[in-house]
Amino acid sequence: MTWEPQQADADTMARRAELARAVRDDLSAAGLPVVPEDADPSVSAGARVTVDPLNDEAGGVFVHWGVRYVLRSAAMDALVGGGGPGDACIRLSGGTSNAMQDAIAEILTIAGYDVQKDANDMAPYQLAVLSRHPGPSWRDWLSEQTARRQEP
């Protein structure tokens, strides 16, 4: 008998999708480029928010900063060619990802989220978004503006 990973139920996936949408909105409102879910990673850069569908500790909502293809490719070529941590391309790619993970973690924490950096040692610089606390936000201002415009 082979082990099959279990998918999260529909309610869990709906909660994760809503959390991911809120994360995308808040990062975008803060001015960060947010990569569309279906964008090809080879032609996109910015915050990529994903939902892992598994029903285990690996499942959930995650944010990863993607550098531009040219830098990612240069760093990968350097790694394949035996380059180490001192290589300029590797250092810039990793340093950028690390700095952006810190910045995104700070932005999301300010916006009321619980986050965990480096939650997955197989995915360096990936940020796990655990939850969002209800509270006032820029969405309230937007709702008020919309309501005012709809008044007779």
pLDDT digits (tens, 9 = 90+) for 76-118: 999 999 888 889 999 999 999 999 999 999 999 999 999 999 8
145 has pLDDT over 80: yes
The pLDDT of residue 58 is 73
Compute the distance between CA of residue 65 and CA of residue 35 in angstroms, rounded to an integer.
9
3-class DSSP state for residue 138?
helix
**Residue-range definition of the domain harbouring residue 88:** 10-150
Is residue 1 a part of any domain in this protein? no
CA angle 128, 132, 14 (to 5 degrees): 80
| Joined tokens for residue 20 | 């991911």
pLDDT at 57 over 80: no
Pairing of strands 127-132, 60-66: antiparallel
Number of folded domains in the chain? 1
Q: How far apart are CA 148 and CA 109, in angstroms?
A: 30
**What mean pLDDT, rounded, does the chain reach?**
91
Q: What's residue 93's pLDDT?
A: 93
Provide the whole-model pTM. Answer: 0.87
Tell me the mean pLDDT in the region 127-151: 91
Backbone angles phi, psi at 93, to 5 degrees: -65, -50
Query: What pLDDT score was predicted for residue 41?
Result: 80
Residue 104 lies in a domain: yes
What's the confidence (pLDDT) of residue 23?
98
